[in-house]
């Protein structure tokens, strides 16, 4: 039976803790949330971290501490964001790999991000990709627009396959400036993927969360859910925490006879070595 990789993105860099107190921004909160999400069906966690004032940070000491804590308390694949926030400098984003995660996001192009610009110029993308190959960190190619699919294909063509030999991509749909969170947009993105892609997932921002989730499952894709992308469970009903988003995704996956996969199965899917 085909199974579904569920990734949870619990925090992000855009949401204010003051306006969303259930957002996990301390290390203790993040670990507790990770454990609950693993129990609900997640196999990978996409991590942004915050400082003592709950502001986005790429502090390397905090990143290392976070990776260690998540590994000690869960079996989840630990994926660090190399996007950080839209204000983080490129050199700090490259340094994220020094925290030695299992995986990292690799955004495949610059995109308008609401009123801001999320900068990912080609030289940065190429350098980050080469560093993942050298360090053995498995990249997840993050795609906000169709042109970024072409850039991902260019990375693979010019520099060869990623560490582990598998190619996993993730569509993030619904960011103002990128592809909308609609079924036709996801279909267009999947149809544009190069032949070398071995698996893909998708997430819809805000109201696009459920349509994209359902379409991804129906098309054989995998899922990313979490409060980075969506803080409402239903209209006018905020989520109580990330685990209920994971649990709903796992239930829908089971209904469609594609139940959530374990972290062991997910490691094989994206090309990570088995844990000893």
Question: What are the phi and psi torsion angles at 122 (to 5°)?
Answer: -55, -45
Sequence-separated (6 or more) residues with CB below 8 Å from residue 24 = 10, 11, 30, 32, 33, 227, 241, 242
Q: CA nearest 225: which of 184, 181, 192?
A: 181
* pTM listed for this prediction: 0.97
Give me the phi and psi of 138, to 5 degrees please: -85, 120
The pLDDT score that the predictor gives to residue 1 is 65
How confident is the model at residue 132, as a pLDDT? 98
Strand partners, 140: 105, 168
At 35-45, the pLDDT tens digits run 999 999 999 99
pLDDT at 172: 98
Give the DSSP letter string of 100-158.
--SEEEEE-S-EEETTEEE---HHHHHHHHHHHHHHTPEEEEEESSHHHHHHHHHHHHH
- Those residues of the chain that have pLDDT short of 70 are 1
pLDDT, residue 275, reads 86
Please report the pLDDT score of residue 114 as a whole number: 86
**Paired strand residues for 77:** 44
Single out the residue of 275, 233, 242, 187 nearest to residue 37, CA to CA.
242
């Amino acid at each position: 039976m085909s199974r579904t990789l569920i990734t949870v993105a619990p925090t992000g860099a855009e949401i204010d803790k003051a306006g969303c107190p259930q957002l996990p921004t301390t290390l203790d909160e993040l670990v507790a949330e990770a454990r609950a999400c693993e129990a609900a069906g997640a196999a990978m966690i996409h991590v942004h971290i915050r400082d003592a004032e709950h502001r986005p940070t790429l502090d390397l000491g905090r990143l290392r501490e976070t990776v260690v804590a998540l590994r000690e308390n869960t079996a989840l694949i630990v994926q660090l964001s190399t996007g950080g926030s839209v204000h983080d400098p490129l050199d700090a984003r490259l340094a994220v790999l020094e925290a030695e995660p299992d995986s990292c996001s690799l955004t495949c192009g610059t995109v308008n991000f609401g009123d801001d610009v999320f900068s990912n110029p080609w030289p940065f993308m190429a350098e980050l990709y080469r560093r993942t190959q050298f360090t053995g960190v498995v990249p997840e190619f993050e795609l906000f627009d169709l042109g970024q699919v072409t850039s991902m294909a260019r990375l693979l063509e010019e520099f060869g396959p990623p560490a582990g030999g598998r190619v996993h991509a993730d569509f993030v749909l619904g960011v103002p400036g990128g592809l909308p969170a609609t079924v036709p947009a996801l279909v267009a993105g999947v149809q544009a993927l190069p032949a070398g892609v071995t698996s893909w997932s998708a997430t819809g921002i805000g109201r696009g969360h459920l349509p994209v989730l359902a379409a991804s499952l129906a098309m054989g894709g995998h899922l990313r859910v979490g409060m980075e992308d969506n803080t409402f469970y239903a209209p006018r009903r905020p989520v109580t925490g990330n685990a209920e988003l994971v649990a709903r995704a796992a239930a829908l996956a089971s209904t469609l006879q594609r139940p959530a996969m374990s972290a062991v199965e997910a490691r094989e899917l994206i090309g990570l070595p088995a844990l000893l």
